[in-house]
Structure formats: structure tokens, C-alpha cells
Chains A and B, each alone.
Chain A
Amino acid sequence: MRPPSSLRQEFLKKWMMGLQRYSTSKKNMSILERKKAIKLSADVAIASARNGTTCWSRALIANGYSKDGGDDKHLVEQILGPESERLIMKKVLTGGASVCNKRMRSKKILKRSCGIQRTRKFAPQVALASSIAKRLVRKRTQILRSLIPGGEFMNDVTLIEETLDYIISLRAQVDVMRSLASASELASEP
């Protein structure tokens, strides 16, 4: 399904805004640095299109914010725009991250303790088809959690919703980037 053009336009706008920062600051960047800068600004742009309503977008922006260099912070702030958004993001970044970490830690402890109990009880049981299926599904959901940014903090239901939204946003991102790449390559042909 095609992402709506409004999403793509918004992403393009914000991405260009972010990229302009780089064109003014440094003059010589290696190709890897450029690639990192492009990818980072693209990620922050597509995340800001959701404006903090989804978990993955907050996680992406938090990633962009906490990475090396004050450059990235300014980038995030520039992309996010006006003061109000920045305040919201700061709340999200400072408050949400710590809460999420605590929640995650307590969840892990709980799971570990439950897991120990489970193995003790069910060790002699014959492997039923249903339990095999459940194990497979659990493995897959774990992999999916590692893929979606901020996925470790979500429960199952939220994970699937976030995946939905994340896929659509990723598609928009890929669409726009591909068009820009091929257009630039055409434009730079002698």
C-alpha cells in the first residue's frame, strides 16, 4: 500500500531542512560521514513526521539526540522546529527513556523468574504442537522487537501497531530517497 503523499512531502521538507545544516557547516566530509549524516537526518525527519505520537518515532529521535557530537542535537532541534516541539521532545527524551529503562529492567527480571519456574514445571512434558508454535512465534516477536526502534519496551499489541506505522513510514522514506537519488544521478550526468 502506498504511503500518502502528505507524509512523503512532509518527510522531504524536514529532511531538506536538516540537510541544509550540513551544507553550511562542514566543507569536506568523507563519503561515510556524508552517508551517516544523510541517514541520520532522514531518520529524524521521518520520525518527526509522527510528532511523538508513536513509540518508534520517539526512540528514533532519542537515538539521534544522544549520539556523538552536538551537531546532531542541533540537527534534531532544527528539524523539529518551534520551541513547543522541542520541549515536548525533551520531556519525552528525559522522562520516557528512564521510565522505559526501569520498566524494561523490571520486565526482564520478572520474565527471568517466570522462565525458571516454567522450565522446572514443564521439563518432563512432551512437546505439543501448540507449544512449539508458541515458541516459534515468541522467537519471531523477539526478532521483530529488535528491528523496530524502541521495540524492547513494548508489549505484544503495541508492537504490532508500531510495526504497522513503522512500515508505512519506512516506505515513505524509501520512496522519497529513491526518487531523490535517481533524480540527482540524472541531474549530475554530464
Chain B
Amino acid sequence: MATRSNGTASDRGEVEVLESLQFTDEIQHLMSAPTTDNAGFFTALLELPAPQAVQLLHSPESAKLIAAPVPNVEDFKGSFHFPSNSGLIERAARFSVFAGEGNNNTKKSNSPETTSNISSANLEKAVKSEPAESESSQPLVSDPTVEKRSIKRKDREKKVKESKKKSKTAANESSEDAEKLPYVHVRARRGQATDSHSLAERARREKINARMKLLQELVPGCNKISGTALVLDEIINHVQSLQHQVEFLSMRLAAVNPRIDFNLDSIFTAESGSIIDCNFPSMVMPMMWPEVQVNGNRQQYQQQWHFDALQQPVWGREEVCNNYITPENSLLSYDSSTNSVTLHSNQLKMEL
């Protein structure tokens, strides 16, 4: 199986490989690997929290996020445009293989070897306009794999109906034959055209929907909303509030100092006298300062704030600040922010 996959040297080849179900050892990996719900549309990327996904997309830190090494994918590292995304691709690949595992032996390809294995009725699952898109340079290599999965999933659902009713098989076969020349074997959805324009449109829409899902996960409170316009509303509000917060905070910073010198050392020394009680019991960072109980006016905030946070294993502030408080509520954040300042300054000290 490795040789077959190595034989196809194009992007299409990668696609085939990733979709091929011949990798039994990969499947075993997947069986043992912890997986989230398969029904999720975007589970590959969302299994990581969104910022990590975005980090993967942007920074070459993928090494630490690769859970289980998949040996066969290593061969293709050279052919990826963005090697830093290989971790993401591996995860997506693993999920795509896992997702498609149920339909055994339904993988397409144009290579003559595999067609023999595939029954004609049960054909081509795989990706349609992907080759057209993958030809054009994409900023994120993860796109093809994710979309493959999405398109594959929907087509699988459709295909069940189709195979039962057999209403469209003839039309599909003819369309497949017509398109056999370059690469794509398309399984048309019921009632949808198969010409390249609508396919490209569909793929583009899938891409956009995938990104919107990520955004929904990122912006708090968007999960329950359905409908693009409302979600976009929330996103716009969120971005605007963040930008306003930046303005407000820069005004505060300008007001606090007559000259612009934020001498971090002076801040550290000034704080050593009145340190907030550290409410995060399992904090790992070395505390350089004695933990002193805070003065009275903060305790009321603490009561409101930290009862849940106490249970959190890590930075309770993380949970608390998920709501992204507006400046009016920023009073409540003084506690946690000062907590974070001490931790922050610890970090800085460690760093400097």
C-alpha cells in the first residue's frame, strides 16, 4: 500500500492516499486514539481548541500537537506546501480515514489498481472539485482534507438513498464518464448539478462554512445561534468590543503615568508588599512572593468571583474571562487581573 500511494506524486495522489482505506495500521491507531464525536462536522480541527488550531495554521509548532505519529504520512512531508501544517493534516487525515471507515472499500481513484477492488455501483466517494482547488495555491493545506471529509460525509448520506433508489445511478455514471478525463469522479448529490462551476461554488461554500464553525467556537455565545447573519452579528460585536477595550485600556495606561515608562521592575517591587492571595491552588509556577491575604475591599469581589474558579485546575481566570467583560464590568476583573499580573510578572521574570 505504501508503494501505491507513493506512486501518485501529485496533490491528487495525496488525496487518494489520505482517503484510502488500505492503511490498516492507521485504522488501528485511530481505534486506540481518543476521538471526539464523529458526528461533528469539523472535529479534526475542533478537537484542538480553536486558538491552537489557528496557532497550528500560523506557527511551526505543530510538532508538539502531533499525538500519535502516523508513519505513512511521513513520506509526504516533502510534498506538502507548508510543512508546518503537517500535524494538522495528519490529524485531519486520521479523522477522515476514521470517518470513512464504515464504508469499506469505497475509495475512489483513477489508478487502475484500485478500481478493480471497487464495485462499480458503490464507487467514488471521494473528492470532487478538490483537485481543481488544490491546484491553486491555498494558504492552508488543511483545507482539502477538511473539505474532503465534509463533502464525503454528505455524499455518503446521499449515497445511501441513491443506492437504494437507484434513480440517479445512470446519470451519475454518465457524468462520471464525462469527467473521467482529467481526474475527478464526482458523486452528484440528489438534485444538484455536476458542472464545474457549481462544484466550485459548493466547495467554496463548504470552506466558508467550515471557517464559520471555527469562529462560532471561538466567540463566546455563538454556539447556540443558528444562521449566518446572526453569528456574524455576534462576531462583529465581539471584535468591536475588543477594539473598544484596547482604546479604553490605552487611555487608562496613559492616565496612570505622567511619562510613558512602564518600568516592570518597579511594578514588581511595589507589588511585593501587598500581594493578593493566590486562589489558584494548583499553580505550577514558582511563587517568588509570600502569599498574603488581601485587604478587605477585594474580598467581596473574591467571593463573587472565585468560587467556581477555585475548582479549576489551571488558571481560573481563563474560565472567568470567557465572557470578555466590557469595561463597565472591569471592576470585577481587578482581582483576577492582579492575580494574573503576579503570575504574568513571574513569567516575565523567568523569561528575563
Min CB–CB distance A48 → chain B (angstroms): 13
Query: Is B211 within 8 A of A34, CB to CB?
Result: no
Cβ contact within 8 Å between B208 and A4: no
Contact A180 B341 (CB under 8 A): yes
Contact residues in A for B232 (Cβ distance below 8 Å): 137, 140-141, 144
- Residue B10 lies at the interface, judged by CB distance under 8 Å to chain A: no
| Across-interface contacts of B245 in A (CB, < 8 A) | 174, 178
Q: Which of A148, A157, A182 contacts B208 (CB 8 A)?
A: A157
Residues of chain B within 8 A (CB-CB) of A27 are 259
CA distance A46 to B205 in the complex (A): 31
- Other than A164-B211, A174-B246, give 6 A-B pairs with Cβ distance below 8 A: A19-B261, A23-B260, A38-B254, A133-B229, A136-B229, A186-B338
With a CB–CB cut-off of 8 A, which chain A residues contact B227?
133
**With contact pairs A2-B318, A39-B250 given, residues A179 and B235 touching in the complex (Cβ less than 8 Å):** no
Instruction: Report the bound CA distance from A53 to B212 in whole Å.
Output: 21
**Stretch in B21-29, B32-40, B95-103, B267-275 with 4+ CB within 8 Å of A:** B267-275
Asked if A186 and B246 sit within 8 Å, CB to CB, the answer is no
What is the total of A-B residue contacts with beta carbons within 8 Å? Answer: 186
Contact with B along A124-140 (1 / 0, CB 8 A): 00000000010011001
The reply to whether B240 and A147 contact each other, CB–CB distance below 8 Å, is yes
Judged by a CB distance under 8 angstroms, whether B170 is at the interface is no
Please, which residues of chain B bring their CB within 8 A of the CB of A106?
A: none
A135: nearest residue on chain B (CB-CB)? B229
Contact status A166-B58, CB under 8 Å: no
Shortest beta-carbon distance from B25 to chain A in Å:
33
With known contacts A1-B50, A144-B236, A183–B267 Cβ distance under 8 A: yes
- Check A71 for interface membership: any CB of B closer than 8 A: no
Residues from chain A with a CB closer than 8 A to the CB of B318 are: 2
B344 and A179 within 8 A (CB): yes
The size of the chain B interface, using a CB distance under 8 A, is 71
B9 close to A (CB within 8 Å): no
Give Cα A174 to B52, complex, Å. 19
B348 interface residue, CB < 8 Å from A?
Answer: yes
Q: Is the CB of A175 within 8 A of B340?
A: yes
Task: Write 8 A-B pairs (CB below 8 A) sorted by A numbering.
Answer: A1-B51, A4-B52, A144-B232, A157-B204, A167-B239, A171-B242, A184-B262, A186-B270
Check if A184 sits within 8 Å of B239, measured CB to CB.
no
Find B239's partner among A20, A39, A144, A173 (CB 8 Å cutoff). Answer: A144
Nearest CB of chain B from residue A136's CB, rounded to whole Å: 4
Proximity string of chain B (44-73) to chain A, C-beta cutoff 8 Å, 1 when within and 0 when not:
000001111011011000000000000000
Give the number of chain A interface residues (Cβ < 8 Å): 66
Secondary structure class of chain B's binding surface, majority of residues: helix
Partner of B257, one of A147, A158, A165, A184: A184
Q: Is B259 in contact with A23, judged by CB distance below 8 angstroms? A: yes
Determine whether the beta carbon of A53 is less than 8 Å from that of B341.
Answer: no
Interface 0/1 of A144-165, CB less than 8 Å to B: 1001100000001110110111
Residues of B close to A3: CB separation below 8 A? 51
Contacting residues, chain A, for B256 (C-beta < 8 A): 181, 184-185, 188
B243 sits at the interface (CB 8 A): yes
Chain A residue numbers with a CB within 8 Å of B270 are 186-188
Q: Is A31 an interface residue (CB 8 A)?
A: yes
A4 with B262: CB separation less than 8 A: no
Q: Does any Cβ of A come within 8 Å of B118's Cβ?
A: no
Contact of A157 with B207 in the complex, beta carbons under 8 Å: yes
A9 on interface, CB distance cutoff 8 Å: yes
- Which residues 1-51 of A have a CB within 8 angstroms of B? 1-5, 8-9, 12-13, 16, 19-20, 22-23, 27, 29, 31-32, 34-35, 37-39, 42-43, 50
Chain A residues with CB under 8 A of B57: 161
Tell me if B190 counts as interface (CB < 8 A to partner A). no
In the complex, the answer to whether A144 meets B235 with C-beta atoms within 8 Å is: yes
User: Which of A4, A38, A161, A187: most chain B CB closer than 10 A?
Assistant: A187
Give the contacting residue for A161; candidates B211, B266, B322, B345; CB below 8 A: B211
Query: Using Cβ atoms and an 8 Å threshold, which residues of chain B touch A161?
Result: 57, 139-140, 211
Contacts of A148 in B (CB 8 A): 239
A87 within 8 A of B: no
Given the known interface contacts A23-B259, A160-B208, A180-B253, the answer about A39 and B246 at a Cβ–Cβ threshold of 8 Å is: yes
Cβ B249 vs Cβ A9 within 8 A: no
Residues of A within 8 A of B243 (CB): 147, 170
Interface hub of A22, A147, A161 (most chain B Cβ within 10 A): A161
CA distance A27 to B258 in the complex (A): 9
Q: Which of B132-147 contact A (CB under 8 A)?
A: 139-140
Give the distance in Å from the alpha carbon of A22 to the alpha carbon of B333 in the complex.
29
Q: Does A88 contact B (CB under 8 A)?
A: no
Interface segment among B191-199, B213-221, B302-310: the answer is: B213-221
State in angstroms the CA–CA spacing of A186 and B341 once bound together: 11
Whether A63 sits at the interface, judged by CB under 8 Å, is: no
Given that A160-B211, A161-B139 are contacting pairs, would A183 and B51 also be in contact in the complex, using a CB cutoff of 8 Å? Answer: no
